Amino acid sequence: MANEPISEVQSGRRRVVELFLGGGLLASFLSFVYPVIRYLVPPPVADLGGDEVVAAKVGELKANGSKIFRFGSRPGLLLLNAAGDYIALSATCTHLSCTVQYRADLHQVWCACHNGLYDLNGRNIAGPPPRPLEAFQVHIRGDEIVVSRKRGA
């Protein structure tokens, strides 16, 4: 039986059966894989920060001092320069996302990971960072220092 030659009609039928079988297996396989792939993509997290945050209280920072504050889910850097002005920058290095720090000795912003340097306006001036740090707006409201994203940025 197994060795009998098959006619053209039979082989045509066989091809149809193979197509259905293969297609069905493939479809069922895809239906297993699809939920797995969707499962692997994490659900989005709501950004709790909004566009404005209280970074510090007035008087909290000394001249030539700095602090890291939470801006949504990312860190921001608030510093008080020698002239007494507050400056707020994104603290996420534009190179590979380490958190930068203010170097009071250099009067510059420094990233310890790969030795990147920024000036107080956030401009990348040395090392590997390809872009400047995002600068935020600073308002003083009562005794609170409020940092907000620049409009249209």
Partner 1 sequence: MLTRIRNWLDERFGLAELTAPLREKTVPIHSRSYWYFLGGITLFLFGIQVCTGILLLLYYRASASEAFESVQYIMTRVQFGWLVRSIHSWAANLMIFTAIAHMFSVLFLKAYRKPRELTWVSGMILLFLAMGFGFSGYLLPWNTLAFFATKVGTEIAGQVPFVGHQMMVFLRGGEEVTGATLTRFFGFHVAVLPGITTLLILLHVALIQRFGMSVPPDVEAKWKADPAQAREMHFFPNFLLRELMAWYIALGVLGALAALKPWDLGTKADPFAPAPAGIRPEWYFMFMFQTLKLIPAKIWFVDGELVGILVFGLAGLIWLLLPFFERERNGRSSRWILGLGVFALAYMASMTVYGYVAK
Region of 4 (left: φ > 0; alpha: ψ -120 to 50; beta: rest) is beta
Q: How many residues bind partner 1 (CB under 8 A)?
A: 28
Paired tokens of 5: 């030659």
Q: Is 130 in the site for partner 1 (CB under 8 A)?
A: yes
Q: Is 27 in the site for partner 1 (CB under 8 A)?
A: no
Interface residues for partner 1 in 79-108 (CB under 8 A)? Answer: 91, 95-101
Please report how close the Cβ of residue 72 comes to partner 1 at its closest, in angstroms: 10
Of residues 128 and 146, the one with the C-beta less far from partner 1: 128
Pairing of strands 52-57, 108-111: unpaired
Q: Is 70 in the site for partner 1 (CB under 8 A)?
A: yes
Please report how close the Cβ of residue 67 comes to partner 1 at its closest, in angstroms: 10
Q: CA-based angle 109:114:120, to the nearest 5?
A: 15
Q: What is the C-alpha separation between 101 and 120, in angstroms, rounded? A: 11
Q: CA-based angle 123:143:71, to the nearest 5?
A: 45
Kindly list the residues in this chain that would bind partner 1 in the complex (CB under 8 A).
40-42, 45, 68-70, 73-75, 91, 95-101, 111-115, 124, 127-130
